[in-house]
Chain A
């Protein structure tokens, strides 16, 4: 290896190793706020999911509630707090990583379409009501009476150990 090439290698390795101790555990630090409820269409045959199962649904690894009922994912548009919590707690990804994940997922022919993006709570509820198999993430303060809210790890929003906040 020529001396110049050795310097380039040394430079890149230095960047790599210097970064390790400086890295924080999570890019998006938790900000305390209302719990995020997992709300599904009333006909969806589930009442309780573990956090791992919620993750599997959101990652597109579970695409059917039952043989006849596909999952329809609804996710709020960027900068909504519900989206921030979903990305931080469930996906554990940054906004860019989330976008890349779904591009790659569709590219691998593992899913035909990405989650549907919703821009407001009203729109979210309209779609939850209209689309069988729909699942959405709603600020618990905005959950409407009649909505079917799932337990996550056996907890409801407001419980001390509820994981989505």
Chain B
């Protein structure tokens, strides 16, 4: 559905297999329906024809493009409100320590910088002990240093508790750093252009290797990687 109320076909003939406990990264140009796809997977959007073979009651952790915290609840309350029943106060403190927001727990979100708010959103997403983790360009509009620190944090928390994850981004290096399975999308109506598998564990990917992979992909899929 377009902004003017007319129906749009954002995505067509789209089949995606997610491997359990792996990170699938969807990469494509802006406006190619990546966010719509995540919303469909999360059962937030039912105006589509097709099937999502994922139970409706599955626990989901969702990191949006903006932190989307409740400004009238403290950081701790923001996490507690959505946390899984088995998630104890002790777990919360550990997770807060892991993402570096321990001092922020009694504060309100309006007092936090964007980088800190994103950390809280990250902690919140993991506090549900999700069956499925959805990440919608979670590190966009941060400076590169902060974004990189947050990516490492995400990897750390994610490796501690491997979860089936789908991430959407248009940042090529971010995609190469994080993906087990890299899905390249072609624009409207969106379809899969190619699926690349990266076998090296994320922790072992150094900048040199990421650059090499990037150059390689740039040669083979200039449409997806040029200008990024």
Is the pairing of A and B real? no
| Interface of A toward B, CB cutoff 8 Å | none
